[in-house]
Structure formats: C-alpha cells, structure tokens
Structure 1
Amino acid sequence: MDESTRSQSSSPTTSENEAEYRQARSRILNVIIAVCYLYFSGIGEKLSNPAVTTLVIYVASFFAFTLAVFLHTRLRPGYYAVRRLLAMMGDFGSLTYVMLLGQTLALPLYVFIVWVTLGNGMRFGSRYLIIASAMAQLSLLALYILGDFWRQQPYLMATFSMLALVLPAYAMTLLRQTAEARDSALVAMQAKSRFLAHASHDLRQPIHSIGYYLSLLRTTRGKPDREQLIDRIERALGSVSRLFKSLLDIAQLDSGTVAVNSEVVSLQALLSDLVQQNEQSAQWNEVELRFVQTSAWVLVDPTLLTTMTQNLLSNAIKYARGSKVLIGVRRQGKSLAIEVHDAGIGIDEQHMPHIFDEFYRAHVEEDHDAEGVGLGLSIVNKLAQLSGLTLTIKSRRGAGTVAGIYDIPISAKQPEPKPQLAGDSPRPMAGYRVILIEDNIDVLHATCALLQQWGCEVQSHSTIPDRFGRCDLIIADYDLGNQELGTDAIRAIRAKLGSTIPAILMTGYAEAVVSKQTIDEGIQVLAKPVPPAMLRSTVSTLRIALRNQTPR
C-alpha cells in the first residue's frame, strides 16, 4: 500500500512506531539545544524589546507544538501522513523565522535545516527525503526574499542551497542501496525458507524408504530379493549423499575458500569416469546414456570441472526419465566445450532467468517430484566463474535441454602417465597398516569394517590414542569431541613415530577446515559424506605413492 493512501486506522508496525518516536524525541532535544544557543549568544541584546517578546512567544509556542507531536506519537503510534507533514512544516517554518530575526547569530541554526531534511528522509524513506529537500529550498528562498541580511550574502545562500541538495541526494543513494540490500536479503531469506522446505522433503523421503527397506531386509531370505533391497537402499543413500554434497559445495563456495589448481587433464578419462559413475543412475531413470569419445587434453582444475560436469549430467539424467542423454566435446577455435544434451522435459521460458539462483527449482507436476533443492546449477555457475569458464543453458519445455561448459583451454602437452591404482581384487590393500580415529562409534565401526574388507590392518580409536603401533596411514575425523581435533591427533602420532606419515582428514565442516596450513602439512581432506569409492581411491593413491618413495 502506498504511504500517502494508508488509513489512519491501519495497524502500526514496530518500525513505524520507533521511527516516529525517535524523530519526535530528537525534535524536543534539538529545540532545547537551539533555545540554549539563542540565550547564550546574546540575541536579546541585539533585538528590540518587542522583537524579543515575539521571539520568546514564538519559541514557547513551537516548544508546546513539539511536545504535542511527541505526546501524539506515544498515544497514537503508527503512520500518520498529516502529522509528519505538519511537523516538517513546523520545523522549517520555525527555523526560517528564527534565522530571519537572528541573522549572523542564527547562522549555526542552518545545521538544524540539514538535520530536519536528512532526519525525515532517513527515518521515513525517500519520498519524505524529497519533500523535506523541497521544504529546505523553500525555507532558504524565504530567507533570501524576506531578509535584507541574507540577500546581501548570495554566495553563502548558494552554498547553503547546494548543501541542502547534495547531502539529501547522497542520502537518497544510500537509501536506495540499503533498500536493494534489504530486498536481496529478503530474497535470500525466502530462498532459504524454500530450501528448508525442499530439503526437509528430500531428506525425509529416502530416509523413510531406507527404514522400510531395512525392515524388509531382516526378513528376506532369498538372495535375489536381498540384492534388490540392497540396491534400493544404496539408491536412497545416494540421494541423501548428493544433497549433502550440494550443501557442502555451496557453503565452501560462499566462504571463498575454493582455489583453482589447473593441470593438464584428459577429457576422455574424466568424462568416461563420469559416465561410468552415472550408469546406475541412468538405469534407475530408464535413460539411454551415450558418450562421444574424445582425444582432447585441456588445462583445467580436474576436481572443479568434474563437479561442474557431474551436476550437469545428473540434472540431465534426472529430468530425461525414459529418454536419451548425450555427453560429448565440441571444439571451438582454441578452446573446447563440454555439452550435455538431453531429450527430457525441458524448462519453461519463465524459469530461465532464475535457473542459476540458489535454492530455485523450475518444478512442475510433470517433473515426477524429481529430487534436489535447486543448488546444482548455482554451484556450476559459481565454479565456472571461478575457473574463468562460461556456462550456457538452452532449453525449451517439452523439447529437452542443452547444457554446456565453454571456453575450456586446450593443452598442447600431455602429462607423464600416472601410476596405476590397485586392481579390483577382493583385498587390494592387504597388509596396509592404518590408524583410524573417529569419535562416532557407528562411523568408526563402519569405516573399520570397510578398510578391513579391503585388506588393511586397522588400529581403531575413538579418541587421540596414547598407545599405537607402526602405521602407513592415519585416517582421522576433524572434530573428535572434548575440544580435540583430528589435526592434533595426526601431529601427535607423527611426532611419536618420528615420521611424516600420510594422513587423511575426514570432516563434516564445509568451511575453515581446509586451510593452507593443513595442505602444507600433507593432509588430504575429504568432506563427509565420503563415498567408499572415493575413500578407496585416496587410500590406494597414498599407498602407491608410499611404495614409490620407499620400496618394500
């Protein structure tokens, strides 16, 4: 509702009440200050007795008016346009009258003209700032027309006039910026409210199904049925894992701790790994996933490019249920583009301007309640900007979507071949000695069992251990409780064994943990939830690196 048309009976808001009250209270204080100044300046000695009497009566009347406005704000709080305008007219009228009488002695009272102008504008908004600015100019014009003294000071009056214009104009800019910041904050709050609603739903659904699947698993005897239930539990856990990974990614990007570490990368290897990782998801969504082979090598950060492409690919699979998805590389001059084409449901034109907003989902009934909280494209967009790449989305409802990462620089050189990781044998890390530290007992037992299944010899501890044997690797949770940190545990074990043993730090914190100091200490940081394949790959890489340094 517009301010000028609000009803006086409308319910007042707290901010309006406070603004009215503070302005009325400040007016009383300023009148007292002005009266004290006039008294001690000796203005009575320079005016005739009739003029002094008139001034006293006027000041007393205005003070009574000021008190009346103050009491009205207490008894009738809220927005009253007439009250505001009358108070402003009283302020400027009184200042004009006193400055006409006081002349030179009244020069300092110009400060109150500025105060009345800015005070009303900053408290009541840009409309009242404009009105107050116009009243200030009228007040100065009246001084110039009615006062001989002021007419003899044209440069001073010009200065006063310009100040009464420049300061409100600057205040107007600040008000506009404040309003834009407020609106942005409001949009962010609304987005996060939507996120909480979506996240609650997207977390409850898979957890709800996991509970039922586990109940069925306890009573199911046949191996095919058990494998089917395990497959469904794995799928539900994947949904929860993807949600948490999105939250961790967006929090880390917002914290500004993500660094770009470019290296020469084979797009064939990177994309084929992604296709392999998404084959199961494609089967679940009845999607035919195709990949166009490539021999290109590029100079990028492989982790960031993998995250970007993974988000685009998972989006395509999710919204192309029962159709086709194609991923491939397109050459564009001295750069390359990774494009993901899908024949899915597409995106309505009205949603396109918002698809990169955090927590925004272009969701309609035909989307089959597709999971996600609207973070994937926002993450890709931020990572693309950070990496100096370009993200483009073209889509039409019912005709599918083309999502592409462009301006990927081509590399003329190929890196030295990396050592092959451990094979797929049942126990690929037999004899590998690991110290595992985790304060959560369930996580401790699960991680220990997984490492032992791979052949590791595990020393498990729920706190920083006092006694332990020789080891090849330390795996520690970051927050061990009781103000103990995994980094402290790693340093203590290294110090006692007298060697910089390779270490992995697993953490549920999205910010601050990945510090330069941690990286300098040679500690690999993995953000929870850590998929078994990622943990296995990291452990295998560290094991091979240790073998290359010290043949056993």
Structure 2
Amino acid sequence: MQMDYESAAEALPLTRRTLVGLLDLAAHAMGAPVAVLCLDGAGSISVAACFGIPDDRAEALAPDLTGLRDRLDASGLLVGPLPLGGSPAAGLQVLAGAAVAGPGGETLGNLWLCGPAGKFDPDRRQVESLRRIAGLIGIEIAEQVAMDGRLAAARAEAERATRAKSRFLSAANHDLRQPYQAIHLFLHLLQTKLSDTGQQSLVTRIQEAVQSGETLLTSLLELSTLDAGTVRPAVARVAVGETLERMIREFEGPALAKGLRLRYVPCTATVVTDTVLLERMLKHLIGNAVRFTTKGSILIGCRRRGDRLRIEVWDTGPGIPEDKRAAVFEEFVQIAGVGPRDRGRGLGLGLAIVERTARLLGHGINVRSVVGKGSVFALSIRIAKDVAEQPVPDRISVLLLGDDPVQVTALRVMLESWNCPVATAAAPEAGAAPPDVVIAELRPEGGGNGLEVVDAVRRRAGRAIPGVVISGEGGPERVKLLGDADVSVLLRPFGPDHLKNVLEAVLMRPVGPR
C-alpha cells in the first residue's frame, strides 16, 4: 500500500503516548537517560516525541541531531559517543542513533539516544534491541498514517453521500412539487366547467386525494432533510409573542370551522432558536390539536422554568394512553385507541418532524395526556440573556467522551481539523477552563449515559454548557429518556455538515470552514 508520509509528524498526536513508551524502552535497553524521535515532515524536521527531557529542549536539540543523519552506517545505525555543540545540548552527547523506516523501506526519520559524556560501549544485543525498537516505531507511524488515510476516505465518502442527498432533496422539492401545482390548477379549471352535482363531487374527491399526496410528499421531504443533515439552523433571539400571534391568525379559521375555541395567553419572553424552524414545529403541534379535537378548546401559552421557557399547546381531544406517548414521536404512528387510521387525521409524520427539529436545536419536547380529557405538548427552549452576557470564544473547545475508540478518534480528527481543541478526559485538571460544548454517547439501555456526563460537566462548571449526545437508536425509548433534556441529538450515521449544523445551533456561531 502506497502511503503519504509528508504529514507524518503532524499526524502523531493521537499515538504520542505509544511513541513515548517505545522511546522509554529504547533508552532502557541502551542504558541512556534521554531519547528523541525526529521525523521528516513536509520538508522540515519535527520532534514527534521525546523521553527524559522537556519538549522545548528536545526541539532545540533537533537541528544538531538532524545534522548527524549522514553519520549513520549502511544498516541505519550509529554507535557513539559523538559530541553535540551549542547550549541546548549542554551536558549531553549522542550515544546511539537508528534510522526509522516505513514498511516499504522509506526513511521517516531518526531515533537518537543521548546522555552525559563518558564511556559507552553497548554490546551486540543492545544494538539489536535498538534496531528492533526503531522498526516498531516505523510500524506504529505507518499504522497511524494508514488510519488517518482511512478516516479521510470515510469522511470524503460521507461528504459525497451528504452532497448527493442534498442534490436529490433539492431536486425533489422543486421537480416533484411542480406536477402537484399543475394538477391543482387544472382541477380548479375543471370544476368551474362542470355543472353536474355528481361530477363536482368527483372533482372534490380528486382534490382531496391530491392534497393528501402533496401533504405526504411535503412531510417526507421535510423529515428527509432533517435526517440528511441538510437543515442549517439560523439561531438567533426570537420574540415568542410575535411568532405565536402569527400561528393564532393562521389556525383561527380552521378551529372556528370545527366549532372550537382557540385561545392564546400573550407572552413577552425572548428565546434562543431558529424562527423558521420554531414556526414549523408550532404549525405541526397546533395543527394536530385542531385536527384531533372534535369539541372544546385549544389553549396556547408559555411558562418559565428556570432559564427555560415552555411553549405549551393544550387541547381537549381524545388523549393518548400512557404506553403510547413516546411512540407518537415516531414516523407513521397513529394511536389506534382514537379511531381507525385516517389520512385526513394526519399521516403520523408531524410529531416526528417536531421531535427531530427540537433535538437539532437542543430544545426539549414532551407530552402529558389523560385519555378522554386531552393532551398538552410542550417545547422547552432556552430563554435569551442580555447580549453582553454571551461572550463568543475565539475557538470552540470540545469535551468528547465515548466508549468506541474508532468513533472517538474519527470525531476528534474531524473537530481538530476545524481548529477545535478537543479533550477526552472526563475529569479535567484542577483549574482547567470548562469546555464550550460537550459531546457524549447516549446509551438508553442502561448504565452511564451521555445525559449524565453533560449534567456532571454542567454541575462542575456551574452553568448550562451546551451538550450534544450521539445515539444509534431511535424509538420511544430514546424519546422517553431525553424528555425535557437541554441537549441536541446526533443520530448515527451523520456526516460532517450535520455535525456542524448541530454545533452551530447550540453555540449560535459558525464552526469550521464550509
């Protein structure tokens, strides 16, 4: 396999501890107190790891050590001692050196062992140990470079798939809607030319069928764009009262047509959300309330809960059995206890869209209900603070925690490529600044999970640090576990753009290059 080692020195932070361990072993085998690994990377020399001296002193030694490369013999070994000049090398001399080669024999750099001046006479076994350790270092570097290549290929494939999905959804939104538009117009023209009551009734039934198909297409496309990660939230400060007043004006007519009272309690709060996505969620919630309620009233209002605002939609509909409440947020779910499946009563996609959109924005969503009396659906959204209280950091620092080392490595490499410092230790050093965002694994089946990690970090920091949990599971269990949790959710598999969109939504600022 042909590998590109040009950036080998830069690719090594993920394997640095392994290299330091090998340097320790080499120093012990040769009886040397200091070991330094210098690698050729992108036309320059870099100290990839060192043992026995501080990093800054090893970097200062690098030019002198590099100048001794020509002293290696044909087998890639050097046995000293050889003096080193200059203040960085004070008190040290080169005791031995070995070339570090890749699996194809290509030179990657050199391993140097240093120590104080004095007699140094290693035996054949020590020299052979040095050669073997240099070979192990070459293998470790080759494996790291290969892993980086596989991660880069996987990222490229994920990005290609995301772009393909985006192109399809864009084309579908445009091309598939056009025939419906034409059908609506033709049906209207046809209806104006018919005088027979039976024919008029037939056209009406066709219009209803077309409307049902168009609604299903719209909902499927909306859900697909959320799953594909192509929805990029524009998070800002939103006045809730203005949004709710628009919703009341839109649904007042349909509610009155059914004999329902639509009531609204004015709200003056300002929240942090995407105004378009908030309206979309409220349309589904209020639309469902009007559709499923046959008598009584619908009430829309807000409650403050700490630093969160709950936007609640109450209805006097049939209610939802307790064992079905989490399931209503899944696709194509209609509650059997409130009548047979009926496209006129909904397609079972609206609440799934609400749940996915809320999790993208880091909002909570839950439902309370009493069978025969009604239900209340609530969105929990962070209340906006004064602008002066929201400092924007120069770089976004991330605390990344998970059980799967491959996933953690892939995410860490991705985040670091966006200039995001990443930590993977659950317990930070004393005095360390809290991260700007926490990304953790959600495990609904039990044991420690991402929500507990996010809560623990928030308690230590004394503030509500944005949290993102990663889940490979959908279903009612995940919905029930999250409840009103103030976190965003990433459902596997997700692409880089999806990750950026979620981070930008919870942080209200751009992340990495686009």
Q: TM-score when scaled to structure 1?
A: 0.33
Which structure shows the bigger proportion of residues in helix conformation?
1
Which structure shows the bigger proportion of residues in strand conformation?
2
Larger Rg: 1
Q: Which has the higher contact order (CA 8 A, sep 6+)?
A: 2
